[in-house]
Chains A and B, each alone.
Chain A
Amino acid sequence: MSQKFERVQAGEKVFDWLLLLLSVGVLIEAYRIDGIPGLNSPGSFPMGLALIMLASSLVILASHRYKQRDPKIRNARHELLVFFHQHFQLHIVVFTLFAVAYLAAIVWVSFYVSTFFFLAVMFIYFRQGRVVSSLIIAALAIATIYGLFTLVFRVYLP
Chain B
Amino acid sequence: MSDTFSYFLMAWLDPQLLLLTAVGTLAGIYVGAIPGLSVTMAVSILISFTFSWDINNALALMVGIYVGGVYGGSRTAILLNIPGAPSAVTTAFDGYPLAQRGEAGRAIGLSTVMSVIGGLLGTLVLAGTAPYLADMALEFAPRDYFLIAVLGLLLVSTLSGKSLARGIFSVALGGIIGLVGMDTVTAQPRLTLGSMELLGGIHYVVVMIGLFGAAEAFYQLHNLNQVPIKQKVDKIIPPFKMVLKYLPLSMRTSIIGVVVGALPGTGGDIASLFAYDHAKRTVKNPSSPFGEGAYEGLVAPETANNAAVGGAYVPMLTLGMPGDAVTAVIIGALVIHGLNPGPMLMIETPHIFWFTVGNLALANLFLLLFGLTGIRVFSKVVEVPKALMIPLILVLCVVGTYSINSNMMEVYWMLGFGIFGYWLKVFGFQMGPIILGVILGPLLDETYRQAMSSVGDDAGQFLLALLANPLSLVLTLVIVLVLLSQTPLKPWVRRRLSRQ
Contact = CB atoms under 8 A, between A and B. Distances in A.
B2 interface: no
A74 interface: no
Query: DSSP class of B's interface residues: helix, strand, loop or mixed?
Result: helix
B169 to A, nearest CB: 4
Given A39-B459, A49-B441, A60-B163, 9 more contacts: A30-B191, A42-B185, A42-B190, A46-B179, A57-B169, A87-B426, A118-B391, A126-B390, A158-B411
Contact of B399 (A53, A87, A149): A149
B484 interface: no
Nearest to B168: A56
A43 B190 CA distance: 7
A123 B218 contact: no
A90 B386 CA distance: 16
A76 interface: no
A153 to B, nearest CB: 4
Contact of A155 (B49, B193, B394, B458): B49
Given A40-B452, A149-B403, A156-B402, A56 B169 contact: yes
A12 B173 CA distance: 18
Interface string B384-413: 011110111011001100110010100110
Given A49-B441, A103-B415, A155-B48, A40 B391 contact: no
B278 to A, nearest CB: 27
Contacts of B485: none
A154 B52 contact: yes
Contacts of A63: 163, 165
Given A157-B402, A158-B402, A122 B453 contact: no
Contact of B193 (A23, A29, A100): A29
Contacts of B48: 155
A40 B143 CA distance: 13
A46 B190 contact: yes
Contacts, number: 153
Interface in A42-70: 42-46, 49-50, 52-53, 56-57, 59-60, 63
A155 B175 contact: no
A96 B172 contact: no
B427 A118 contact: no
B427 A153 contact: no
Contacts of B50: 153
Interface in B146-191: 163, 165-166, 168-169, 172-173, 175-176, 179, 183, 185-186, 188-191
Nearest to B178: A49
A86 to B, nearest CB: 8
B423 interface: yes
B20 to A, nearest CB: 12
Interface in B354-408: 385-388, 390-392, 394-395, 398-399, 402-403, 406, 408
Contacts of A137: 388
B482 to A, nearest CB: 15
B471 interface: no
Interface string A124-158: 00110000000001000100010001000111111
Query: DSSP class of A's interface residues: helix, strand, loop or mixed?
Result: helix
What is the interface residue range for chain A against chain B?
Answer: 35 or more
B171 to A, nearest CB: 8
B22 to A, nearest CB: 16
Nearest to A92: B221
Interface of B: 48-50, 52, 163, 165-166, 168-169, 172-173, 175-176, 179, 183, 185-186, 188-191, 193, 218, 221-222, 224, 385-388, 390-392, 394-395, 398-399, 402-403, 406, 408, 411-412, 415, 419, 423, 426-427, 441, 444-445, 448-449, 452-453, 457-459
A45 B172 CA distance: 10
Contacts of B426: 9, 87
B166 A153 contact: no
A127 B385 contact: yes
A99 to B, nearest CB: 6
15 contacts: A15-B427, A33-B191, A39-B452, A39-B457, A40-B452, A42-B186, A45-B448, A52-B168, A53-B173, A56-B169, A59-B165, A91-B224, A92-B218, A123-B391, A158-B398
Nearest 6 interchain pairs by C-beta? A126-B387, A155-B403, A122-B391, A59-B165, A56-B169, A42-B183
Contacts of B406: 156
Contacts of B448: 44-45
A71 interface: no
B425 to A, nearest CB: 11
Identify the interface centre among B52, B190, B452: most chain A CB within 10 Å of its CB: B190
Nearest to A158: B402
A11 B423 CA distance: 11
B399 A145 contact: yes
A106 interface: yes
Contact of B49 (A38, A57, A141, A149): A149
A100 B415 contact: yes
Interface string A16-42: 100100010010011001100011101
B444 A156 contact: no
Contacts of B189: 33
Contact of B395 (A46, A91, A115): A115
Given A59-B165, A127-B387, A155-B399, A29 B191 contact: yes
B440 to A, nearest CB: 11
Contacts of A33: 188-191
B449 A40 contact: yes
A141 B399 contact: no
A89 B471 CA distance: 53
